């Protein structure tokens, strides 16, 4: 029997296939990694990859339709077909599937769904109005899994779960009662929760102390970026809000701005953006998909931005200037949240009980320059970056500060699929 953990984004699908061991005390075995990339990328073919553990199957590395026109709902069944054929795997062998769902509202645990018992999907579709560019894809994936694997049970796991411990004074918005009746309270919920939970567990294991004693500030930096303040292993604040738009800038997200800006930038911002299959206003489209690093530097590739900053000869003078501004804006916003959250921890926890600042996500894990520049601003708290360690790229958990540094810095490779699998074992009891 197998468990499949699926992680659907607007531009990619990731997943891991785990063999379920005969005994509950035995660890899950990862037998395959799978993914689809270049979704929504006009002019680029979607890439389909299945990478098997040695001897488990034949690897797949293929191209499909143009990313700008491919039907999203067709991709999970296609991926399942490639998985099944390349590994001599019967589809009925997959008994459980987990789906990372961005917005779960006030839910404090995951939701099970199966063929004929799909009530949870309707509720998730309702919440798509708060994360239309995220939840909708997860719902499509879950529906297609139910059709392709009619005898399995799925577990919907929400990025908002980890942040249910944020206190009311932190999650409350200072707004009057609204004229509409939304499907959930309008407040901060926070996201990237599966990643943060995975990081807490990794730090706990690495430091040899219980999760209840972990005190860290985490910067999850990828195409979507957020920060979290974690005290005693629990979230007490995070940068994202009602939707993933609030907080840090991302690859195409504006992050926190004066809300009135959009009315001047896009006068008809309340009108429908015309995206097929979902209701998205022009404001949501501009702020979520046309802003951030893309707007400032003309690219979402952080490596390209760093190259243009450090090597002006590699680009035009305009590209160098725009990349430099983008990098400085990104660093400024990051420091705003990291410093705020360090102060929040220091108000109740002594410095020697703070385990440090953690960087994760694609940019956080690969951005040695960014990590150095961020931690360098906390020299006054005793942060001492070790350039050799910071430049090292191996290890799931690695320290990047010197021995004796009073404020420690870390890189932790997050594992959302692994954490989803752990939650599924707890829920299903296998």
230, exposed or middle or buried, with CB in 10 Å at 0-12, 13-18, 19+?
buried
SS3 state at 298: coil
DSSP classification of residue 97: E
SS3 state at 261: helix
CA atoms within 13 A on the CB side of 25: 0
Alpha-carbon distance values, 42 to 38, 65, 120, 295, 403 (Å) = 8, 10, 33, 18, 48
Is 159 among the residues known to form the active site? yes
Nearest-5° angle of CA 253, CA 247, CA 174? Answer: 120
Give the tokens for residue 51: 């990478």
Cα-atom radius of gyration of the chain, to the nearest Å?
Answer: 22
Cα 22 to the center of its chain, rounded Å = 31
Task: Answer for the pair 414, 364: CB distance below 8 angstroms, yes or no.
Answer: no
Task: Answer for the pair 147, 97: CB distance below 8 angstroms, yes or no.
Answer: no
Q: Which stretch of DSSP H or E encloses residue 142?
A: helix 135-148
| Selection from 121, 237, 123, 135 nearest residue 189 by Cα | 237
Q: Give the list of residues 6+ apart from residue 173 with CB closer than 8 angstroms, or none.
A: 186, 187, 188, 241, 242
* Candidates 33, 66, 147, 159; catalytic one: 159
Alpha-carbon distance values, 145 to 9, 137, 151, 389, 421 (Å) = 16, 12, 10, 43, 17
Q: Which residue has the tokens 């979507």?
A: 224
Neighbours of 103 (CB within 10 A): 24
428, exposed or middle or buried, with CB in 10 Å at 0-12, 13-18, 19+?
middle
Catalytic residue ranges: 159
């Amino acid at each position: 029997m197998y468990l499949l953990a699926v992680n659907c984004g607007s531009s990619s699908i990731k997943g891991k296939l785990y063999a379920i061991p005969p005994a509950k005390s035995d660890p899950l075995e990862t037998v395959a990694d799978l993914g689809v990339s270049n979704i929504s990328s006009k002019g680029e073919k979607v890439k389909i990859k299945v990478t098997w553990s040695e001897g488990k199957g034949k690897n797949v590395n293929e191209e499909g339709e143009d990313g700008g026109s491919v039907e999203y709902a067709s991709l999970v069944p296609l991926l399942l077909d490639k998985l099944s054929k390349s590994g001599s795997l019967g589809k009925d062998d997959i008994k459980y599937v987990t789906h990372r769902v961005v917005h779960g509202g006030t839910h404090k645990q995951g939701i099970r769904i199966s063929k004929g018992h799909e009530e949870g999907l309707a509720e998730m579709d309702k919440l798509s109005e708060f994360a239309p560019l995220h939840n909708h894809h997860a719902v499509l994936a879950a529906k297609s899994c139910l059709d392709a694997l009619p005898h399995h049970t799925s577990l919907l796991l929400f990025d908002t779960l980890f942040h249910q411990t944020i206190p009311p004074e932190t999650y409350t918005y200072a707004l009057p009662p609204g004229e509409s009746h939304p499907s959930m309270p309008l407040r901060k919920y926070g996201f990237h929760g599966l990643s943060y939970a995975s990081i807490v567990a990794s730090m706990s294991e690495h430091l040899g102390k219980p999760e209840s004693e972990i005190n860290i500030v985490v910067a999850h930096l990828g195409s979507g970026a957020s920060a979290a303040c974690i005290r005693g292993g629990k979230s007490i604040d995070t940068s994202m809000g009602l939707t993933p738009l609030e907080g840090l800038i991302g690859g195409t997200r504006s992050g926190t701005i004066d809300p009135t800006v959009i009315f001047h930038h896009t006068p008809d911002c309340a009108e429908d953006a015309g995206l097929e299959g979902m209701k998205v206003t022009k404001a949501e489209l501009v702020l979520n998909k046309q802003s951030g690093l893309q707007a400032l530097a003309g690219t979402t590739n952080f490596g390209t931005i760093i190259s243009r900053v450090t090597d002006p000869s590699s680009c035009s003078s305009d590209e160098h200037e725009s990349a430099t501004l983008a990098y400085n804006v990104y660093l400024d916003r990051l420091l705003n949240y990291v410093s705020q959250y360090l102060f929040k921890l220091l108000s109740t926890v002594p410095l020697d009980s703070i385990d440090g600042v953690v960087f994760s996500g694609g940019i956080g894990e690969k951005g040695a320059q960014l990590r150095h520049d961020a931690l360098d601003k906390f020299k006054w708290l005793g942060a001492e970056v070790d350039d050799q360690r910071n430049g090292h790229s191996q290890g799931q958990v690695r320290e990047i500060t010197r021995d004796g540094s009073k404020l420690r810095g870390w890189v932790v490779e997050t594992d959302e699929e692994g954490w989803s699998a752990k939650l599924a074992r707890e829920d299903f009891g296998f």
